[in-house]
Chains A and B, each alone.
Chain A
């Protein structure tokens, strides 16, 4: 099923848009105005594409592993189990990067990356959006953010 661009949809009548949407499996669009129908269908296509990507991920041999992670081949000739390094995305404010910290606690990562990411002592660690304690151990698929306070000034 192809994706329609906003420009393509704008050239169609509301009736044509709704027919295309219903044929594609997008429901709940029948009573909408043309503008609302375009917005709704564009969002629906977006979500469908994301679901499609997830299905593609499941074809991966590592499909049983929860979440997404990034791995780097560091030793292609090495023994099995030593060839690939897996990293966790760690960020603090604008500063971010993938780091080899799986299996380390938040306290250890804070010490390790304090200067690299300019992590303030008061920054709250969030893993996948939820606050965690300093003893939390990072797992494959985690995303660690040290929550930086909002900028105060501007006037």
Chain B
């Protein structure tokens, strides 16, 4: 094997991406759990920990830069390293969504939740499961799995739709609930975005394996097209 050292370094980068991924998975689940329990301390901790996620991302980015500059990767190696650059950026943004949810918990102050959280934790669970599978598919370069994951985005979208309608009924009944409904809607929106970004990771995995850049059709587009205009 001519490039043992380089191969080890590539493996190290993949491991680092997985570590970053697991930090993000935990942050998303914890942020929803803290909100559910209205645990302010936990949310404050999550906001601090987001800095660790950002730090890890920059650390990986730096390693990637050094590898690209010093090893002149080509073909599959190049696609992998360039895609890692994209993937860590997606992960960092997902971390920001978790931080956003933590911030909402802080901003809600003493106000109670408008309703007990049921669908929102489900959205978080599905999103995190999707992310976990996507990262496994990335490591194994499994195209079939990478293509199948974005389908689950439909479930997240359906839940988001459901949360939206439910919150609207509260608002219609009592306009004073607008602010609290809005906060929960933002939480659901953040989680919906997590699932979308998982799709981007799956697209990168397919690119690494095949060299073909193809957009996985987002059901998200259909979702917005289906919404009737309301005046």
Do these two chains really belong together in a complex? Answer: no
Measured CB to CB, the residues of B under 8 A from A are: none
Using CB atoms and an 8 Å cutoff, list the residues of chain A in contact with chain B.
Answer: none
